[in-house]
Structure 1
Amino acid sequence: MVSATASPPQFKEVPTSGERARNAKWWYSTFHTVTAMVGAGVLSLPYAMAYLGWGPGTLVMVVSWCITLHTMWQMVQLHECVPGTRFDRYLDLGRHAFGPNLGPWIVLPQQLIVQVGCDIVYMVTGGKCLQKFFQIVCSTHCAQFRQSYWICIFGALHFFLSQLPDFNSVSAVSLAAALMSLCYSTIAWVGCLSKGRGSEVSYGYKKTSGGDYMFRVFNALGQITFAYAGHAVALEIQATIPSTPEKPSRVAMWKGAVLAYFINGICYFPVAIIGYWAFGHDVADNVLVALERPAWLIAAANLMVVVHVIGSYQVYAMPVFDILERSVVKRWSIPPGLMLRLLVRSSYVAFTLFVGVTFPFFGDLLGFFGGFGFAPTSYFLPSVIWLRIMKPKRFSRSWIINWLCIFIGVFIMVASTIGGLRNIVADSSTYQFYS
C-alpha cells in the first residue's frame, strides 16, 4: 500500500548541461510565443498579398493560421508524450521519434535554419527601422548614415544582451517585445486605414515576365510562412513551465498558446488586408516604410519594431546558444561560465550581423527562410513526428489531417525556397554591397 503522505512522482529530465529553471507561469508562454511569431513577418504580409491577390492571399493566410495552430497543439502534447519524461528541445523529441542517429539529422538542421534565419532577418529589420526612425525625427539637420551602419548599431546591442543566461532572464525583454508587436501592428493597419485608398491604387497583377512573377508568388508563400514561426522554440518555452502528473505543463502551455494565436490573428489579418487595400500591388515589402504620416506616430512604430526584434532575436538565439555551448563543452572540455558565453555568443552575434549587413534583402530573406526552415518546423514536421509516435489509425480524422498538413507544408517549402533563393540572386545583381 502506498503511504498517504508519499509525494507524487515527478517528471524526470532529459539530461542537460546545466540546471533548467521551471518556474514560469502560463502567461509567460503567451508573450514568449507572441514574441517568437509576431515579428518582422507581419510587416511583409501586404507585400505577399500583392502577388497572391485578394482570394488566394486571404485563403493562404487562413489555412496557414489553422495548420500551424494544429501543429502547435501537437508540439504541446508531444512535450510529455512519454510518461515521466519531458522533451525540453525539438532535438530531444526528434531523437525519440526517429532514433538517436537519424533524429538529429532530421530536426537539428531545420531548427537551426529557423532560429539563425530569424536572427539574420531581425538584424536587417532592426537596422532598417532604426534608420527610418532617424530619418523621420531628424530629417533636415542631421547627417544620413548608410543602412549597413544602422544594422551594425542594432547588432552591437546584442553583444551585451546575449550574455543573459537563459529564457527566464529575458522574460522582461520578451514581454516588452510582445507588447510592442501588438502596438506597431495596430499602428501599421490604422495608419494604412487613415491614409486611405489612393485614386491610382490597383489590385491587378504586377507587370513583369511570367517567370519572374511565378518566382515572386513562390516567395510570397514563404513570406506568409515566415509569419508562423513559433514552433521552433515551443518545446524550449514549455520547458520553463513546472509540471506534475496532476498539473502537466501542456495545460498551461496550451492556454498560453491559444491566447498567443488570438493576438497573432488580430495583428496579422488587419495588417495584411488593410495594407494591401491602401497601397495595392505597389506596397513596399515593409509596410511601415511606405507610411509617412503622421510622422511622429510612424517614427514611434518603427522604434517599437526595434524593441520587438531586440526581444525576438534573444528568444530565437537562446536555444542556439544552448546547442553551441553544449557542443563546445563536450568537444573541448571548456567549463561552463562567463568566458564560454563571451566566446560562443559573441561569435554567433557577429556571424548573424555579418550576413545581415551583406544581404539586407528583407522580403527575399523572409521568403527563403520561410520556405527552407519554417515550413518544415511549423507546417509538417510536427505532423510527421505525431504519426510516428502516436500512430493514429489509418484513414482516421487525425491521420487525414496530418497527411494534409504534410502535403501542403512540403509544397510550400519547395516553392518558397526556390522563389526566395532566386529573388536573392536576382536582387543581388543590382545591389551595391555594404552601401
Structure 2
Amino acid sequence: MASSPQNDGKTDREKAIDEWLPITSSRNAKWWYSAFHNVTAMVGAGVLSLPYAMSELGWGPGVTILILSWVITLYTLWQMVEMHESVPGTRFDRYHELGQHAFGQKLGLWIVVPQQLVVEIGTCIVYMVTGGKSLQKFQQSVCPTCKPMKTTFFIMIFASVHFVLSHLPNFNSISGVSLAAAVMSLSYSIIAWVASLNKGIHQEVDYSPRAKSTAGNVFNFFSALGDVAFAYAGHNVVLEIQATIPSTPERPSKIAMWKGVVVAYIVVAICYFPVALVGYYIFGNTIDDNILITLEKPNWLIATANMFVVVHVIGGYQIYAMPVFDMIETYLVKQMNFSPTTTLRFITRNLYVAITMFIGITFPFFGGLLGFFGGFALAPTTYYLPCIMWLAIKKPRKYSISWWTNWFCIVVGVLLMVLAPIGGLRSIILSAKSYHFYS
C-alpha cells in the first residue's frame, strides 16, 4: 500500500498516533463509499436554497451559473482525485498536505488550513441551523395544534444527536450514517420538485427581480452566487474520503475514488437541476430561501421531507466535522504531546459540538449564512485552489488547453469569492434586524 506523506522514518509512537487519528486509521473503503460520502458532502442544505437563488439570478444567468458550476466543480474534483497520489509512493491524505506539497510546508498550511476550517466549521453551523429548523417544521406539520417551541430548543435537540455520533472514531465508522444521509438527500430533493409540480403553476406567478431597487437586485445577485457555491462543497473533504480507500501501484486509489465521484455527480445533477428549475418555475419570486418552507401541503409529505433533511444533515455534519476532529486531535497529540486517549477525544469533540450549537443558536439566518460562507471560503477551496495547485504541481504548458481551463476556473472562483460574501453579509444583516433572537 502506498504510504502517507508522513509515514517515512516514523517511530512506533508516530505510527500508533496515525492509527488512532480519524483520517489515517482505516483504509479499507470500497468505491461506493466514495459515492455516498461525496453525495452526503455535496447535496445538503444548499439544494433547498437553489430555487431561491434562481429567483435572485433570473432564468438566463441562473441556468448558466448552475451548469457552469456543475462542470467546473466536477473538473476541480477530478484534479484533486488525481493529485492525491501525484508523487509515487506518497498519499496526500489531507487537503493541507496537498497544499504543503504545492506551496511549501509553511505557506501551504497558511493558505489551506484557515479556508478549510472556515468551510467545515461554517458548514457544521449551517447544518445546526438547518437541522433545528427542519425539526421545527416537522413538528409544526404533524401537530399544528401543539404549543410552538422556539427554534433555539430545536437546534439543541438536533445537537444532542451529535454529542453521541461525534465519538465514532473515523470516516469508515460513519459509513452507515453517511449512506442513510445520501439516500435521504436524494429522497427529499425528489419530494421537493415533485410536490412543486403537483402544486401547479399559478397564473399570477412572477419572474421579475425580487428587489424593488437596482442596488437590492445587485446585492441579491451576489448573494445567489454564494448560495450556488455553497451547494458544491464536497471538495473540502474529498482527499480525506480518498484516504480511506486502499491503494497499490497496480490499482491506485484514484480509480475507485473517481468511479464513486462520477456516480455522486450524477446524483447531484438529479437532485440540483429539477429542484432549482421546477421550484423557480412553479413559485417564481415568492419562493422562500428553503423550498420546503414554501411547500406547506400536503402536511404528511412536507413532514416526511423535513425529517429526511434532518437525517441528511446529521450525516453531513459528521462528514464535515471529521476532518476538523482530525486537525484538533493531530495538534493536541503531535504538537502539545497529549496522549491519544478516549478521554481527550471525548472532551474535544463534545466541546466542538457545543461551540457549533451555540453559534447556530446565535445566528440562525439560513439564507444569509449560505451566501456568506459560500463565497467567502467555498469558492476558493472548490472553484480555484485545486487549479492553482494543479498549475504548481503538474505545470501544464503555457497557453495549452489545460492552462487556459485552469485560469478560467481561477477567474470564476475569484469573482465568486469577492462578490458572494457582499450579498451574503447584507442578507445576514437584514435577517438579524427582522429576526427575534428566541423566535
- With normalisation by structure 2, the TM-score equals 0.95
The correspondence for 2:339, drawn from 335, 339, 345, is 335
Note if contact 1:358-1:434 (Cα within 8 Å) is conserved in structure 2: no
**Does 1:326 pair with 2:330?**
yes
The correspondence for 2:56, drawn from 32, 51, 55, is 51
1:13 aligned partner: 4
2:11 aligned partner: none
Instruction: Tell me by how many angstroms 1:327 deviates.
Output: 1.1
Note if contact 2:119-2:373 (Cα within 8 Å) is conserved in structure 1: yes
For this pair of structures, how many residues does the alignment match?
A: 425
Counterparts in 2 of 1:28-67, with a 5 A limit? Answer: 28-67=33-72
Letter in 2 for 1:23: N
Instruction: Tell me by how many angstroms 1:328 deviates.
Output: 1.5
Letter in 2 for 1:14: P
Q: Does the residue aligned with 1:188 lie in a helix, a strand or coil?
A: helix
**Does 1:421 pair with 2:425?**
yes
List 4+ stretches of structure 1 deviating above 4 A: none
1:71 aligned partner: 76
Q: Identity of paired residues, percent?
A: 60
Instruction: Tell me by how many angstroms 1:197 deviates.
Output: 0.7
1:351 aligned partner: 355
Instruction: Tell me by how many angstroms 1:336 deviates.
Output: 1.1
Letter in 1 for 2:244: T
| RMSD of Structure 2 on Structure 1 (CA) | 1.0
User: Counterparts of 1:13 and 1:159 in 2: how far apart (Å)?
Assistant: 30
1:209 aligned partner: 213
Instruction: Tell me by how many angstroms 1:210 deviates.
Output: 2.0
Per-residue Cα deviation, 1:153-194 (whole angstroms, up to 9, x for no partner)? 101111111011000000000000000000000000000000
Letter in 2 for 1:94: G
Note if contact 2:367-2:427 (Cα within 8 Å) is conserved in structure 1: no
Give the stretch that moved more between structures: 209-218 or 392-401: 209-218
2:272 aligned partner: 268
User: Counterparts of 1:213 and 1:98 in 2: how far apart (Å)?
Assistant: 39
1:27 aligned partner: 32
Instruction: Tell me by how many angstroms 1:424 deviates.
Output: 1.1
1:155 aligned partner: 159
1:256 aligned partner: 260
Where structure 1 has 5 or more consecutive residues not aligned to the other structure, the ranges are 1-9
**Does 1:116 pair with 2:121?**
yes
Counterparts in 2 of 1:165-244, with a 5 A limit? Answer: 165-244=169-248
User: Counterparts of 1:271 and 1:398 in 2: how far apart (Å)?
Assistant: 32
User: Counterparts of 1:57 and 1:213 in 2: how far apart (Å)?
Assistant: 14
Note if contact 2:124-2:321 (Cα within 8 Å) is conserved in structure 1: yes
User: Counterparts of 1:102 and 1:389 in 2: how far apart (Å)?
Assistant: 15
Instruction: Tell me by how many angstroms 1:417 deviates.
Output: 1.1
2:92 aligned partner: 87
**Does 1:101 pair with 2:92?**
no
Instruction: Tell me by how many angstroms 1:341 deviates.
Output: 1.1
Note if contact 1:79-1:235 (Cα within 8 Å) is conserved in structure 2: yes
Letter in 1 for 2:287: V
Instruction: Tell me by how many angstroms 1:18 deviates.
Output: 2.1
Q: Does the residue aligned with 2:18 lie in a helix, a strand or coil?
A: coil
- With normalisation by structure 1, the TM-score equals 0.96
User: Counterparts of 1:220 and 1:79 in 2: how far apart (Å)?
Assistant: 32
2:9 aligned partner: none
Letter in 1 for 2:276: A
1:3 aligned partner: none
Instruction: Tell me by how many angstroms 1:209 deviates.
Output: 2.3
